[in-house]
Amino acid sequence: MKKTMWKWKAVLTLLICMVAVSGNRSGYRVQAEEYTYESKSLKYEIVNDEIEITGYTGSPTDIEIPAQIDTENGKMLPVTSIGDSAFSQSKLTSIDIPDNVESIGNNAFEYCRNLSSITFSSDSRLTSIGDRAFLYCSGLKEIKIPDSVKSIGEYAFCGSGLTSINIPTSMTSIGEEAFRQSGLTSIEIPSSVESIGRAAFATSNNLKSVIISNSVTNIGDNVFDSCQNLESVTFESGSSLKTIGSGAFYNCKSLTSIIIPYGVTSIGNGAFNLCGGLTSIDIPDSVTSMDGAFSGSGLTRVDISSSVIGKGAFSSCYNLTDITILDSVTSIGDSAFGDCRNLSSVQFKFGSSLKTIGSGAFYNCYGLTSIDIPDSVTSIGDSAFAYCRNLSSIQFEPNSRLTSIGKNAFECCNGLTSIDIPSNVTSIGNFAFFDCYGLTSIVIPDSVTSIGSSAFNRCSGLTSIEIPASVTSIGAYAFELCPSLESITIPASVTSIGDSAFHGCSKNLVIYTPSGSTAEKYALDNGIKVGDMNGNQNPTAPGETQSTTPGGTQGTTPTTESQTPAAMGTELQAADVKAEVKVTSDNAVNPTVEYVAGTDKSAKKVTVPNAVTINGVTYQVTSVAPKAFAKNKKLTSVTIGKNVTSIGKDAFKNCTSLKSVTIQSSGLTKIGSGAFSGDKKLTKITIKTTKLTKNSIGKNALKGTSKKLVIKVPKKQVEKYKKYFKGKGNKSVKVTK
């Protein structure tokens, strides 16, 4: 029995030893006893007959680490490492490190702010410098790293005073934030280095020039982030570079030009964001990914040959005026050129391979006056050209393969006077031509099967429309507030016409349609004149004229004399409600205005009324203008009337005292971007409309609002509106019935 127990104890002991050895191989070790080397005031441990310096107890500021130590057990052992935090926060000014030392541990000299001199032996065998080894050694101006070093850890020299550095040819990588916030003025990456870690040189504001060897395959995220004096980046010929990370050159304001090597396939998000001095760039056709890469840069002109122009690639490049898109480009990503306000010329090279123009691709490019869409394009995304206010000409090639026009695609393109939609288009999206008030004619091809909600809403210049026999549905509000529209032909194929499709059109509007059709019934139900398909009108009874009752239901009332509405675009003062308004429809039957601004700047509670009466004319208030109440510090609560269908961009931005908003309109279809942004005290919004969609609620509409914000909505819309409002700038918003 005893013999058996002895055997089991032996086996157990062997297993424990094996685990210990295995642990050592994984970076763990059995705790060693710490000793003190009195003559140098050094603490040390003995590991495998080698010495690691673990601490410093002395007061001298200059120290020379011995190559060997005569230990207490009488052995002379070599010093091979400086342990973690060994000299952390000491008052050292200089240190000599012997050639035996192979590693400097993590945090070894961190916060040694007086350390100005480090000397390594010419025969140094140092191979690694640990994480944060010299973190915030602000007095350290220079150091000669031994040629034997293979790795420099994360944050190794972060915040140091280094003005120059030699990176040895033995190194293959530079750790994350290794030289962040250093005093370096120039850097040359040797041919041994293959990758540069995240933020390795970020915020090194004295850095002016960089030379990157042809061996580097990857520049990590934010490597040169905010190096604001960086003027020159040179890639050696034959570069192996494949990727430039996100934010790699972010906010490098002094960088004026850079040649990206051929072979680069990916340029990360915001890689050159806010490089205001960067006016030109060559992008090789090897690039297949560059989302947000050049947003907010100073580019004035760019030729693009890469296959994909990424999402937001050139957004908010305010100086960009000219683009040439070469025939290798197959797609323009979402918001690719969004908010490039001075963009005036977009040229597609003959033989274009372009297939898709993404959502918001040219959003708010109001310098753009004309564009020719290549015949290869099959889809135009949501809001692709929205708010290109001066766009007056869109040309589609005769063999255009375009099949869909997205939601809000040409919203507020006020300069458009006419457009021929290509013959392959099957759908016109919601709000596609919303508020294109300059549009006087449009040809809808017989390939179209549906016209979306509000597709031509507020196109006040349209006088007549012919709907082809292919169309089966006309969406709600499709031609609402088109006061000049007097004639529309609707075939029997149309079996669905949405609410208020022709609300606010001319009092003389005639719908020409076959007897017994859906359109005829719609016209009769809404008091609209009807004609047959031969152009013969069935007139309204003598002595009557069409009118629109509040809420939009059309009918007939006896003719009476009334004041003439002011011309569209006229700004008026509504004294009774202390407001400035602008006429958006001068239709004699149903004139409308936009609420531009309140005139009582001291008012704390404001109501946007259902209607205003000025000079004897009653105008419905149908919209709140962009920035109508922006920066009003007095405003605490707002009630928005029943006839408002849209709230403009930044309408209530930075109303820092605003606490509650009640929107009484059941027909509200749009809340503009930034509408309530910066309203830090806003805790309650009440909404009655069921007509909002995810895309009709603008970007950052709720950004900067209170974390306690509650939005009360109709019961049936709670789940939908939770999704719609969550992505609009306030992650804490609560949506309830």
Locate CATH 3.80.10.10 in the chain. 34-171, 418-429+436-549, 573-736
**DSSP letters spanning 111-148:** T-TT--EEEE-TT----EE-TTTTTT-TT-------TT
- Is the model's pLDDT at 304 over the cut of 90? no
Who wins on pLDDT, 74 or 455?
455
pLDDT in tens, 311-325: 999 999 999 999 998
Q: Do 103 and 131 form a contact (C-beta atoms < 8 A)?
A: no
d(CA 202, CA 221): 10
Query: What is the structure's pLDDT at 514?
Result: 93
Tokens of 107: 């945090």
569: how many CB neighbours lie within 10 A of its CB? Answer: 11
Among 296, 274, 299, which residue's Cα sits nearest to residue 283?
299
CATH number, span 34-171: 3.80.10.10
Give me the mean pLDDT over the 337-358 stretch.
89
pLDDT in tens, 658-695: 999 999 998 899 999 999 999 999 999 999 998 898 88
Tokens of 590: 């149903």
- Minimum mean pLDDT range among 8-12, 208-212, 305-309, 434-438: 8-12
Where does the pLDDT of residue 435 fall: very low under 50, low under 70, confident under 90, or very high at 90 and above? Answer: very high
- How far separated are the first and last CA of the chain, in Å rounded? 78
Among 664, 696, 712, which residue's Cα sits nearest to residue 722?
712
Amino acid letter, residue 107: N
Q: 638: helix, coil or strand?
A: strand
- Is the model's pLDDT at 168 over the cut of 60? yes
Give, in order, the Cα–Cα distances in Å from 130 to each of 48, 113, 257, 275, 646: 21, 18, 35, 33, 59
Pairing of strands 331-332, 308-309: parallel
- Is the model's pLDDT at 555 over the cut of 80? no
d(CA 478, CA 458): 9
Collect contacts of 534-543 with beta carbons under 8 A, ≥24 apart.
537/510
d(CA 576, CA 212): 70
Q: Do 421 and 397 form a contact (C-beta atoms < 8 A)?
A: no
pLDDT in tens, 173-193: 899 999 999 999 999 999 898
pLDDT in tens, 600-617: 888 899 999 999 988 888
Who wins on pLDDT, 281 or 656?
656
Where does the pLDDT of residue 548 fall: very low under 50, low under 70, confident under 90, or very high at 90 and above? Answer: very low
Q: CA 76, 79, 84, 89: dihedral to nearest 10 degrees?
A: 100
Among 300, 297, 327, which residue's Cα sits nearest to residue 312?
297
Tokens of 707: 């974390």
d(CA 463, CA 458): 12
Query: What is the structure's pLDDT at 687?
Result: 95
d(CA 333, CA 361): 6
d(CA 458, CA 447): 24
Where does the pLDDT of residue 32 fall: very low under 50, low under 70, confident under 90, or very high at 90 and above? Answer: low
Q: Do 167 and 145 form a contact (C-beta atoms < 8 A)?
A: yes
Residues in Cβ contact with 13 at an 8 Å cutoff, skipping those fewer than 6 apart? none
Give, in order, the Cα–Cα distances in Å from 620 to each of 69, 588, 646, 714: 94, 12, 13, 24
Query: What is the structure's pLDDT at 105?
Result: 97
Q: Do 335 and 317 form a contact (C-beta atoms < 8 A)?
A: no
d(CA 433, CA 504): 17
10: how many CB neighbours lie within 10 A of its CB? Answer: 10
d(CA 227, CA 543): 78
Query: What is the structure's pLDDT at 22?
Result: 40
Query: What is the structure's pLDDT at 541?
Result: 32
Tokens of 518: 């859906």
Mean pLDDT of the chain: 88
Among 84, 168, 156, which residue's Cα sits nearest to residue 127?
168
Give, in order, the Cα–Cα distances in Å from 291 to each of 271, 308, 316, 326: 9, 9, 13, 18
Question: Which residue is listed with tokens 């690639």?
Answer: 313
Query: What is the structure's pLDDT at 606?
Result: 93
Where does the pLDDT of residue 538 fall: very low under 50, low under 70, confident under 90, or very high at 90 and above? Answer: low
Residues in Cβ contact with 21 at an 8 Å cutoff, skipping those fewer than 6 apart? none
Residues in Cβ contact with 259 at an 8 Å cutoff, skipping those fewer than 6 apart? 235, 282
DSSP label at residue 338: T
d(CA 431, CA 446): 20
CATH number for the 573-736 domain, one of 3.60.20.10, 3.40.50.300, 3.80.10.10, 1.20.120.640?
3.80.10.10
Tokens of 465: 């429309």
- Is the model's pLDDT at 535 over the cut of 90? no
Q: Do 381 and 404 form a contact (C-beta atoms < 8 A)?
A: no
Pairing of strands 710-712, 670-671: unpaired
- Is the model's pLDDT at 2 over the cut of 70? no
Q: Do 520 and 511 form a contact (C-beta atoms < 8 A)?
A: yes
- pLDDT above 90: percentage of residues in the chain: 72
d(CA 420, CA 585): 26
Superfamily (CATH) of domain 418-429+436-549: Ribonuclease Inhibitor (3.80.10.10)
Where does the pLDDT of residue 27 fall: very low under 50, low under 70, confident under 90, or very high at 90 and above? Answer: very low
- Quote the distance between the C-alpha of residue 410 and its chain's center: 21
d(CA 290, CA 581): 44
3-state SS, one letter per residue, for 1-54: CHHHHHHHHHHHHHHHHHHHHHHHHCCCCCCCCEEEEHHHCEEEEEECCEEEEE
d(CA 243, CA 268): 8
- Is the model's pLDDT at 20 over the cut of 50? no
Where does the pLDDT of residue 331 fall: very low under 50, low under 70, confident under 90, or very high at 90 and above? Answer: very high
